[in-house]
Amino acid sequence: MDFSHRRCLLTVAVTAVVTAAVTSVLTPVLFARSTTTPGNGQDVRATSVILINGDGMAAAHREAARLYLAGLDGRLAMDRLPVSGQLTTSPHDPSAAVTDSAAAATAWATGVRTYNGATGVDVDGRPLAVLGQQAKAAGKSTGLVTTAQVTDASPAAFFSRTADRSAQDEIARQYLTFSRPDVILGGGEDWWLPRGAPGAWPDRPAEDPSEGSRGTRGDLVEQARRDGYHYVSSAEGLASAPRGRLLGLFANEEMFQQRPEGEGDVYAPPVDLATMTGKALDILGGNRKGFFLLVEEEGVDEFSHHNNATRVLQSMRSLERTVEVARAYVATHPDTLLVVTGDHECGGLTVENTSDTDESGSAPSTEDGPFPVHGSTLRFVMDWTTTGHTGVDVPVTAEGPLAELFTGKHPNTHLHDVLARALGI
């Protein structure tokens, strides 16, 4: 082999090594916020994120809803998302192996696992950077929509930092002074007003006399108005609200009554989750820099705690309609990452055939049903094993830029990592 040939081979080898090294450095950066949209071959950069949380929802909840709403051969909108995977749910709690909603959402919002009851702080109570505030600092619009109190654990973890999730008036105060989400829609007016000073929703309502204003941080509704928020408390007010900062509180506490079956349990939100989500997208979508929107259906978890399958299926219908609204938005805004998952499982739910001899539990962990399989003469039952949370994995489905990163099984903190990349944080 002559010298020129050896030099040529050496040059090729060095070039290959350098190229590989450069590629290994640049690829994570380039891949951080872009992906190829199936079917058009074009690179689409992520600018916005919609995260939909079916609180307490795992695989059995989705299967029961599929049978009930879509039938044996049908598919839910949340299951038609092109990418699917699994997330673990365990917290970092010295006294518990199974998570609550606060620790679960904190793992999503910060990438750090923490103890049950904590929102936005680590196991030592130290405040962490939370996605809601980080997205706002990056110039994006932000919002939260829930059928729970807007200051409940899941939204609180993305937009506040407290050692105790029960400090909901402090969480509301931090929304106005720390994270400043552009859109806040849900229940929980009681926490925004001082005790003895009811607002649009009266104290001691007939459906639940225990409800009433209980805040200790002053009149936060009035403070929100001074800060430029338009305040609404009804479906009509929401429909006519102008674009801009929006605070909507549509119940004293949750937007439903989660009592045991037949004891005043009602799922009939004054404004449905899909409508609130559509309004939020209309407002947040006006920012060319993009947005982050957290959407939560709380009824799945609350009614699973009561082993109330009828109300769980109603809540799942609400969630499904909301996913359809989000998918319609993504269809015309391909730079949006849509993720649908649950923070943990609740109820130890299984889906079974009907049987007169296969009742495996006693009150309260008993079977509910039978329920009809849509478009069929078949029926199924929903069988519960606990009134608490369980530690099983939860399914995650996604579409849009970076959705493929959810393929496979991941820790719950992985969701934070993908959302942070999509938002450029």
190 appears as a binding residue in the annotation:
no
Angstrom distance (rounded) from CA 65 to CA 72: 11
Q: Are strands 389-390 and 291-297 parallel, antiparallel or unpaired?
A: unpaired
Active site residues: 101
Residue 128 token pair: 């962490």
92 appears as a binding residue in the annotation:
no
Residue 108 neighbours by CB under 8 Å, 6+ apart: 51, 131, 157, 158, 343, 412, 413, 415, 416, 419
Tell me whether residue 347 is exposed, middle or buried, using C-beta atoms within 10 angstroms of its C-beta: 0 to 12, 13 to 18, 19 or more: buried
Beta strands, E only, 161-282: 183-187, 230-232, 246-249
Q: What angle do CA 31, 32, 38 make, to 5 degrees?
A: 55
Outline where 153-297 has alpha helix (H). 153-159, 168-174, 220-226, 235-240, 273-284
Outline where 241-298 has alpha helix (H). 273-284
Q: Which of 342, 344, 362, 361 is nearest to 352 (CA)?
A: 361
Angstrom distance (rounded) from CA 389 to CA 349: 10
Cβ–Cβ < 8 Å for 176, 223: yes
Half-sphere exposure of 161 (CA within 13 A, CB side): 20
Q: Is the dihedral of CA 311, 313, 316, 318 positive or negative?
A: negative
Q: Are strands 336-341 and 48-54 parallel, antiparallel or unpaired?
A: parallel
368 appears as a binding residue in the annotation:
no
305 appears as a binding residue in the annotation:
yes
Angstrom distance (rounded) from CA 102 to CA 124: 15
In the block, residue with structure tokens 């950066």: 29
Residue 241 token pair: 């609200």
389 appears as a binding residue in the annotation:
yes
324 appears as a binding residue in the annotation:
no
55 appears as a binding residue in the annotation:
yes
Half-sphere exposure of 69 (CA within 13 A, CB side): 22
Cβ–Cβ < 8 Å for 61, 69: no
State the binding site for Mg(2+): 55, 152, 154, 296, 344
State the binding site for Zn(2+): 55, 301, 305, 343, 389
State the binding site: 55, 152, 154, 296, 301, 305, 343-344, 389
